[in-house]
Structure 1
């Protein structure tokens, strides 16, 4: 059994979904692990991870709109606003999604469905530098 780690740095430009599947696929393939498990971990409390459809852009648009409805920017609703009006809504959106994914590796590739992609979900309005840690365990 072998294990590998890597940090993917992602520059976001605004709130929304950023597909990171290509970078992850490429890194996993380079490790030459035929069978294993990949853990993808987001090191932030105001950004998260999703596996979601990557074919229709409307899916991402609708997801972003849904999260704006359930965790709106409304300064009168939240006590925590240390970094501005999008601070607490960003934490709520992260709490409702996830910061860690587990993805099987078979025949040297991550196993995703035909229309699935891996996304970093930026929950803040302004640009950020985000880090996603990859941990691959396998043989």
Structure 2
């Protein structure tokens, strides 16, 4: 018998570019829904201007990611997509580099992340402070 449970969470990311650690939210979701079960946790962001990344946080890597994105996707007037804040077109290219989905193994109801890995929402869109993330457990 397989288990499928899904939930949508809403986050306020504010009006600055952010990398938001979702690892504890994922852990709490699995504690409620997947106690002792093996499977997969899938995360999906239903937005055209945000993505999900698995990376180290707290040691500067989150800031380094935003800096790298500034170099790759400058917030200037080169973009064809021109509504919103200046340079907003870059936000619509972001999901091609930081995908809107991530899947992580779950063993015994626990995320199987590496020692320094966290699951993070990457949001460079200053015009949309509300974000949703769908968490889905398949076990």
Normalized against structure 1, the TM-score is what? 0.92
Secondary structure of 2:114 counterpart: coil
- List alignment gaps of at least 5 residues for structure 1: none
Aligned to 2:103: 102
What is the RMSD computed on CA atoms of the aligned residues?
1.3
Aligned to 1:73: 75
Pairing 1:1-139 to 2, within 5 Å after superposition: 1-13=2-14, 14-31=16-33, 32-56=35-59, 58-75=60-77, 77-126=78-127, 128-138=129-139
What TM-score, normalized to structure 2?
A: 0.92
Q: Unpaired runs of 5+ in structure 2?
A: none
Q: Distance in 1 between matches of 2:117 and 2:45?
A: 18
How many residue pairs align between the two structures?
136
Task: Tell whether the 8 Å contact from 1:46 to 1:87 is kept in structure 2 after alignment.
Answer: no
Cα deviation for residue 95 of structure 1 reads 1.4
SS of the equivalent of 2:30 reads: helix
